[in-house]
Structure 1
Amino acid sequence: MINPSTLVSSSDIARRAGVQRAAVSNWRRRHADFPAPVVRSPGELFKAEQVAIWLGQRAIPAGSRRPDEAEGTTFGDRFRGTFDPSGRDGRAEDVDPRATERRERRSERSLRSDRAFDRPRRDGRANEIATRLMNWLWRLRTIGDPAAHADVLLTALYLRAAAPQGWDELVRRWRERSTGSMDDLEHALRGHVARDRQLMDMLWEPRWWAESPFLGPRNLSDLIDLLATTEGLSDKEVASEVAAELTERIAAWEGHRGGEFHTPRSVADLLARLVDPQPGEHVHDPCCGTGDLLVAAAARLPSGSVPMLSGSALSPRPLLRAGLNLALHGLRADLAPNALARIRGGPFSAGPFHCVISNPPFAMREWTTPGPSSPGHWRYGDPPKSNADFAWLQHIIGSLTPEGRAAVVMAPGSTFRGGRERWIRMAMLEDGVVSCVIRLPQGLFHTTNIPVTVWVLEKGRSPGSDVLLIDATDVAPDDFGEIVDAYRDRRTCERSRSRIPARACSLGELRDADYRLDPRALVSTRKTDSAGRERIDHLSERAAIDRLVRRSVLLDAKITQIEPVAADAMDGPHASRWPRRSLGDLCLIRTGPARIPSGTAADAPVVTARQIKDRRVHDEDLQYASARFAETSSQYRLRRGDVVCIRTGSISRAALIDADHEGWILGRGCLLLRPGPGVRPGYLLHCLSHPQVDDWVARRASGSVMPTISVQRLRELPIPVPPRARQDEICALLDAIDEKAALHAEIVRRTQRLHGAALTALLGDAPTG
């Protein structure tokens, strides 16, 4: 029962309905019948009873329901369940609008400080505690290995929450001596895991925090005092939320330095819902990273179930964080640092498992063992040695039980790349193991801005079965439950309740499309009248613009945080004394081929001057090289980390090759710069954009109409080379500014499209005669 006088704010509605604040804003914007606020200043407040009635008309999507919520449960049911049954909730006269406004301002500041726009709202205490701990970590960013310091932090946090006796003893000893050492931390952890063999395997072997000798007694004591005086960390649920928040922020801070991807919670939850693990089923992650996917899978099981979990990592180091993550959630798993050995062992070197969920690194190069390959080892075809994407997919299929299922995050290039990957993709489709391919929005991951895809694989399907393609490019993480609805409705042959564009493609259609699986190209627009379609487009554009603006706000916070450090790196007294080296000493320079035989869309794409814009490679108006040329001209194959620039005109038109464009061909009129160990590729890219560099090249170029510089003269270009740490700091700021520029360009583009969609949505079709 809700007291008729009870008022709630937008934040209260989101918290009680179990959604993010953005979902409430979307409801208000899209539905004219949403209750109007009864208090507008200084903070909007709504009548709780009216909100409950309105929410009672909205069923919770199947993919978003909690384990204890039955089919047909509404957001109103969830909202009402958070109130006191006696009706003794806050009354209108008890609500202080100024307090509400302050609370919402704090909430907005917390949101702006996040590194990931899609992070689900966590408990306020967890956010606050994580911020304090990150401040300790940030102070040590220039001392030793930051990743090792992060391991120390997470290990100490785990002891604080899970080993009260060992923790109290550790704090007592450190305070008695006014100092501490790594030996004390090791002693406490050894005592905690001594009686639990599985826990010892998860936490003891990879003790990488022992490699943090640079911390020193003072920094260690500061950490112990900080953890000891922070209330709430003895609660494992709070500690696990803090650890999850810390893991996301550390992953954003480290970027690719962490070695393996950290999977955002929204994506981890999506994958877990797609495979839908059941009690008694074994869930495996062949490249477990920080263990987020295994935690998400276990959360889908009913309370009281004992999850069967296992995982492998590319190296021993990530296992500590995966083990800590799982242990803080009260989970046990068989973890091993043998992911690379297993994938090298082929498709049947692990398992069988009922469910597999994974987010392996994109386009991993050095994955094969030295020496000749063994043809026929892989069922659907030998994967390229320069790209492990289809090795992971085949390995996962081979590790499933006869009726097993899997959900795997892949780079979008895996859906359309030609060459050997095209033949493997064709064989998988003909065999029927690919059930669904989903294209997700860009910007979900800290380490890449590309719109990743999810491959859903099922072992027991008939050969030649159709494939469901879902284009979720414009779907907010709050609405990922609708993706699950679209997938489950298709599996049960029900009419889809989801508004997300989706289409089941027959094998014949995929053959006609040359076995490409790009949902953007193959998912048709819903059949509707023109005005209705424009109204859908209007709402879609509005939602996309809102997401972009939120990301821009978060990016502003990031730039504000790193700008002072980068400015010190660029303007410090030592900057003018940085050594200068010639471009030829820093990198390999190669011109593009004189002639490229044309190929089809199934062959290798070519990077031409047309694709190089805004220091990025764009995918529009592509040309293709013939398969034979691509196979016999490996010197023109681009690698991740290469810098490509144009040879004529301004050299500042340059782009960095990422994982999604690896293997493409260097085009005519372009130059390849392959940096050596002395310079970071991103730093070299930004140097080429410097006005003085552009002027240097222009003065030495030949030709008045279209200036062209020779490779010999370009090798003489002087480049300032600061220490590697300074390069990282400079790149962090300039990359963030580039990303903000790209966001604003996308906002402008979508806003222009919004005008036409809004016009038709408001006025309908214009008269034609």
Structure 2
Amino acid sequence: MKHDATLNAGDIARLADVGRAAVSNWRRRYDDFPQPVGGTAASPLFSLPEVEDWLRRNGRSYEMSLGDRAWQGLRASGDDLRLGDLVACAGAFLLYLRRDPGSWKTVTRSHEPAKRLHQAAAAATADLPVPVDWSLIDIRLYRLLADLADEQGPPEAFELLCERYIEAHSRRLSVTRADYAELMARLAVPSPGDDGAAASAGDDGAPAAAGLAAGAPTSVFDPACGVGALLLPFGGARVLGQESGESAALLAAVRLLLRGARAHLVAGDSLRHDGFSGLRADVVVCDPPFNERAWGYEELTGDPRWEYGLPPRGEPELAWVQHCLARVRHGGLVAILMPAAAASRRPGKRIRGNLLRGGALRAVLTLAAGGPDLWLLRRPEPGERPPSQVLMLDAADGLAGAEDAWRAFTADPEGVPPAPGLAVRIIDLLDDEVDLSPARHRPLPGEQDAAAEFGRVRERLTAAAAGLAGTLPDVAPLAETREMPTTTIGELVRAGIVTIHQGPPKMAVDAGDLPVLTVADLVAGGPPTGRTPAGAGHVTLEPGDVVATVVTGDGAARVVTAPGAVLGPQLHLYRIDHERLDPDFLAGYLRYAGASGATRSYSGASRVDARRVRVPRLSLAEQREYGKAFRELLALSDHLRATAALGDRLVRLGFDGLIGGHLRPGR
């Protein structure tokens, strides 16, 4: 069944090159704005022809990119309930193009292109976890997808479609946040010299993949892989996954195979129908479904995986923990996201206690206020003496210290890890509650340190607040809105005024001598904190360059002031002709484009199409005036963020000191 193409508010914002707030404003202000034709009250859908007609009638310029046309073609090919199947089919086609591009050219010249396409594509993608229904998409849309692959490359084209799909179904899909996935991947790779750092051959005896770093796992398994978010960082390893939804399993497999991964995925419920019963992977990562009561309690009562106890009916997450432990080799690591309540719910205390006694549970990290928690487990070696401590860490204020604390703890499990990590004696946890919540075990600061720190932070906050007036920008209101002719960054590139460089998709940023500017550094406005080995292919920063994130949400863009660092992942560098373009002027518009674009989803973010960002055509003198104002606004933003962080710190110290008896109310 075919449908007219539809758009959500984010699609309209991209089409018109405005922020989502502008679309909401149009709906309120203009009676003739198209009415929703589907979706829900919270996420309405609009007719693409009606929106285009309204934009034309109201003099709004718009441009539909090839990626957007492909996405709208998919949306129009079936109902939204089949959207996952449609995107998976498109991905399988892109995989076919990557593997056998010559066949596609032959198909397009044949008398029966659709029939020949189905046969050739099915043969080229026979290793996918479920058969593909190639009839879901017509031959015209396949041609459009081929054009998109020519423009961006098959992997990049499919990532764009996946981002659109995740955004469109953000309320139905539960996709692991990108920063959580990256942290889990980093924690899963042992440091050189750690116990078990030497990678094993994996479940099939295959040797380590060429190019893997020392200590990196050679096989990684995710038993609830969704669309593959947790497996993507392990491109050099053999990646295995299982997912109950067929379309999600197909999406995950295509994402991994398009990136050249040695991937094997199956569709099916991992707890009820384990597709990897003999597996012993080096690493298991998992973000299981939370609070899933119908997980198979009755039929799995005597399952051999329950080594640490039969999971209660209402504790499915403890079933997933033990399933993961059963699929990792001795000495291998399990990193699994858990709801915060799983650390303290009374029905699960017996299993939590057994995990501690057996030496399997090694760390509990709270990643955000209210959860989730990250449990790090290690399958003990036969006869191994259980450790006496477990790592607790509340990273709700930021993930920066989690990796250092984990590295220090694994290097010396009986030592004292750096803050904010805390080594807690296992014997102290084995009480009537077996409460593993890190916040409960976070100690109050010592009396003298707490009082002194409170005073220091209060003085700094007072000075920062007093200095706010001096950071206010020199910006004045206009009597009426100024209309300015604009151009796009893409046109500036074609004119030779701007050259765009992109950071590598992945880079080791935790070892080496060469400083690396990361996304976190750019957002915070601090110096480069990453370190990477010297080598070919790095993009070196020069003073006057503009660096911006490639994803929306952060809206981070800054002018480089110091040379020597190299460009990190997820960043774009804009090298400009300083005789024709002011860097602060360009950075201001890039920052606005990133901050006002598609809203960041739980999965991560939507990418900025930088070439479509519009900037006014102004003289260099006028650009410098705007650049000065943008620079002042950015300084104010940095000052406000630092002041807010001091305020949060003061509040926490105040509560800790008053409750712990280290401070008293003033008189």
Cα deviation for residue 325 of structure 1 reads 1.0
Structure-1 residue corresponding to 2:407: 488
Residue from 390, 397, 414 that aligns with 2:325? 397
Residue from 337, 344, 369 that aligns with 1:409? 337
Which has more helix, going by share of residues?
1
Structure-2 residue corresponding to 1:206: 130
> Does 2:120 align with 1:188?
yes
Structure-2 residue corresponding to 1:328: 258
Amino acid at match of 1:254: H
Cα displacement string for residues 714-750 of structure 1 (whole angstroms, at most 9, x for unaligned residues): xxxxxxxxxxxxxxxxxxxxxxxxxxxxxxxxx9xx8
Cα deviation for residue 428 of structure 1 reads 0.9
Amino acid at match of 2:169: E
Cα deviation for residue 294 of structure 1 reads 2.2
Distance (whole Å) between structure 2 residues aligned to residue 342 and residue 496 of structure 1: 41
Matches within 5 A, 1:150-165: 150-165=87-102
Distance (whole Å) between structure 1 residues aligned to residue 342 and residue 331 of structure 2: 24
Gaps of 5+ in 2: 1-15, 24-63, 191-197, 200-207, 209-217, 466-519, 525-551, 556-591, 602-640, 655-662
Matches within 5 A, 1:73-472: 131=68, 133-139=70-76, 142=79, 145-173=82-110, 181=114, 183-193=115-125, 200-201=126-127, 203=128, 206-210=130-134, 212=136, 217=138, 220-222=139-141, 224-225=143-144, 227-228=146-147, 231-234=150-153, 239-255=154-170, 257=172, 261-276=174-189, 280=208, 281-298=218-235, 301=236, 307-340=237-270, 349-368=277-296, 373-374=301-302, 378-419=306-347, 421-441=348-368, 451-460=371-380, 462-463=385-386, 465-472=388-395
Matches within 5 A, 1:637-648: none
> Structure 1's 438 and 142: CA in aligned 2 closer, same or farther, altered over 3 A?
same
Q: Secondary structure, in 3 states, of the residue corresponding to 2:85?
A: helix
Amino acid at match of 1:473: A
Amino acid at match of 2:181: A
Cα displacement string for residues 5-59 of structure 1 (whole angstroms, at most 9, x for unaligned residues): xxxxxxxxxxxxxxxxxxxxxxxxxxxxxxxxxxxxxxxxxxxxxxxxxxxxxxx
Cα deviation for residue 481 of structure 1 reads 5.3
Distance (whole Å) between structure 1 residues aligned to residue 294 and residue 226 of structure 2: 18
Matched-pair contact (CA < 8 Å) for 1:363–1:387: yes
Cα deviation for residue 153 of structure 1 reads 2.5
Matched-pair contact (CA < 8 Å) for 1:439–1:452: yes
Matches within 5 A, 1:438-587: 438-441=365-368, 451-460=371-380, 462-463=385-386, 465-475=388-398, 480=399, 482-493=401-412, 501-512=420-431, 514-525=433-444, 528-530=449-451, 532=453
Amino acid at match of 1:373: T
Distance (whole Å) between structure 1 residues aligned to residue 179 and residue 387 of structure 2: 32
Amino acid at match of 1:424: I
Cα deviation for residue 246 of structure 1 reads 3.4
> Structure 1's 536 and 271: CA in aligned 2 closer, same or farther, altered over 3 A?
farther
Matched-pair contact (CA < 8 Å) for 1:354–1:401: yes
Cα displacement string for residues 263-309 of structure 1 (whole angstroms, at most 9, x for unaligned residues): 333222211111107653322222222223222123xx5xxxxx233
Cα deviation for residue 427 of structure 1 reads 1.2
Percent identity over the alignment?
A: 23
> Structure 1's 110 and 354: CA in aligned 2 closer, same or farther, altered over 3 A?
farther
Gaps of 5+ in 1: 1-105, 114-126, 194-199, 302-306, 443-449, 562-746
Cα deviation for residue 536 of structure 1 reads 7.0
Matched-pair contact (CA < 8 Å) for 1:433–1:457: yes
Cα deviation for residue 172 of structure 1 reads 4.0
> Structure 1's 532 and 350: CA in aligned 2 closer, same or farther, altered over 3 A?
farther
Cα displacement string for residues 682-728 of structure 1 (whole angstroms, at most 9, x for unaligned residues): xxxxxxxxxxxxxxxxxxxxxxxxxxxxxxxxxxxxxxxxxxxxxxx
Matched-pair contact (CA < 8 Å) for 2:158–2:255: yes
Matched-pair contact (CA < 8 Å) for 1:147–1:254: no
Q: Secondary structure, in 3 states, of the residue corresponding to 1:432?
A: coil
Cα deviation for residue 394 of structure 1 reads 0.9
Q: Secondary structure, in 3 states, of the residue corresponding to 1:333?
A: strand
Cα deviation for residue 249 of structure 1 reads 3.7
Matched-pair contact (CA < 8 Å) for 1:486–1:496: no
Q: TM-score, normalization: structure 1?
A: 0.46
Distance (whole Å) between structure 2 residues aligned to residue 111 and residue 535 of structure 1: 41
Distance (whole Å) between structure 2 residues aligned to residue 375 and residue 156 of structure 1: 40
Q: Secondary structure, in 3 states, of the residue corresponding to 1:293?
A: coil
Distance (whole Å) between structure 2 residues aligned to residue 354 and residue 266 of structure 1: 22
Distance (whole Å) between structure 1 residues aligned to residue 289 and residue 108 of structure 2: 39
Distance (whole Å) between structure 2 residues aligned to residue 458 and residue 372 of structure 1: 24
Matched-pair contact (CA < 8 Å) for 1:282–1:355: yes
Matched-pair contact (CA < 8 Å) for 1:357–1:407: yes
Matched-pair contact (CA < 8 Å) for 1:366–1:386: no
> Structure 1's 339 and 152: CA in aligned 2 closer, same or farther, altered over 3 A?
same
Matched-pair contact (CA < 8 Å) for 2:220–2:238: yes
Q: Secondary structure, in 3 states, of the residue corresponding to 1:504?
A: strand
Q: Secondary structure, in 3 states, of the residue corresponding to 2:220?
A: strand
> Structure 1's 372 and 467: CA in aligned 2 closer, same or farther, altered over 3 A?
closer
Distance (whole Å) between structure 1 residues aligned to residue 324 and residue 161 of structure 2: 30
Cα deviation for residue 435 of structure 1 reads 0.6
Matched-pair contact (CA < 8 Å) for 1:269–1:297: no
Moved more, 405-414 or 143-152: 143-152
Count of matched residue pairs: 411
Cα deviation for residue 521 of structure 1 reads 2.0
Matched-pair contact (CA < 8 Å) for 2:228–2:256: yes
Distance (whole Å) between structure 1 residues aligned to residue 343 and residue 17 of structure 2: 39
Cα displacement string for residues 354-410 of structure 1 (whole angstroms, at most 9, x for unaligned residues): 211111211222221655833887222111234421111011112222211111111
Cα deviation for residue 130 of structure 1 reads 5.2
> Structure 1's 758 and 383: CA in aligned 2 closer, same or farther, altered over 3 A?
closer
Cα displacement string for residues 450-473 of structure 1 (whole angstroms, at most 9, x for unaligned residues): 631111001236335311111111
Structure-1 residue corresponding to 2:10: none
Matched-pair contact (CA < 8 Å) for 2:238–2:261: no
Amino acid at match of 2:221: H
Matched-pair contact (CA < 8 Å) for 2:88–2:247: no
Distance (whole Å) between structure 2 residues aligned to residue 192 and residue 375 of structure 1: 38
Distance (whole Å) between structure 2 residues aligned to residue 386 and residue 367 of structure 1: 9
> Structure 1's 324 and 376: CA in aligned 2 closer, same or farther, altered over 3 A?
closer
> Structure 1's 222 and 244: CA in aligned 2 closer, same or farther, altered over 3 A?
closer
